[in-house]
Amino acid sequence: MKLVLFDLDKTLLDINFDEFLKSYFTLLIPKLAKIIKDKDPLKILKISVDYMINEKNGELNVDKFYKKFIELSQVEQKILKETFLDFYLKEFPKLKIFGKPRDGGREVVLKLMEKNFKVIIATNSIFPEIAIMERIKWANLIDINFPLITTMENMHYAKPNIEYYIEILEKLNADSKDAIMIGDDFEMDIIPAQKIGIKTIHFGVEVKDIREILNLITNN
């Protein structure tokens, strides 16, 4: 085994994701409402995210998202991108109150790297890099040089599509038999990875303490 894929939210990042999402929308939607007239910004956002996840047309996730959002909102791309950037710079960091480093997470990542494993942050690529790097900061992993962190800017697919995992393997020129996926979500992390032959560890179910993962991986 050479490649270790770690989910971020609720795996390396200890986060109350439901409360995080609730507050995320509470902060974001008013900003979008200022530039979207006579339409429901939350509905447009959800349709655009669904399109980004389900449309497999070979475009980057970020391009799929903005194409659908612009089509539905009729807001200029420049204004839309500036609004999202302003939100992620000024408002998104406030959500740090919902996340903290997973006990033992940093230690496990660094020890795996010391043993020459390639450790990847395989977080769902439906958020922009700026938001993912902010959450990596909350997990106390920002100074670590990961070979790949999946974002909406560098991925063409998202979880739970098997193509998401295939794309990671292709980017790293790796075989599924040499990889393992560690995540908390059975539908997003475990099932699709297993479908293409990637070994998995269901965090929170098979393993309760992330430090146990070190022995499981290095002894196989």
The answer to whether 117 touches 2, Cβ cutoff 8 Å, is: yes
- Strand ranges (DSSP E) for 1-130? 3-6, 13-15, 99-101, 118-121
Q: Omega into 93 within 30° of 0, i.e. cis?
A: no
pLDDT digits (tens, 9 = 90+) for 12-21: 999 999 999 9
| 218 pLDDT above the threshold of 90 | no
pTM recorded for the entire structure:
0.95
In order of 54, 93, 104, 204, the CA distances from 141 in angstroms are 30, 16, 12, 20
Mean pLDDT of the chain: 96
Q: What is the pLDDT of residue 180?
A: 97
pLDDT band of 1, cuts 50, 70, 90: low
Per the DSSP assignment, residues forming a β-bridge with 9 are 13
| 48 pLDDT above the threshold of 90 | yes
**Residue 99 to residue 11: CA distance in whole angstroms:** 11
**Residue 48 to residue 54: CA distance in whole angstroms:** 10
pLDDT digits (tens, 9 = 90+) for 125-134: 999 999 999 9
pLDDT digits (tens, 9 = 90+) for 159-172: 999 999 999 999 99
| 220 pLDDT above the threshold of 70 | no
The answer to whether 92 touches 47, Cβ cutoff 8 Å, is: no
For the chain, what percent of residues have pLDDT higher than 90?
A: 95
Per the DSSP assignment, residues forming a β-bridge with 98 are none
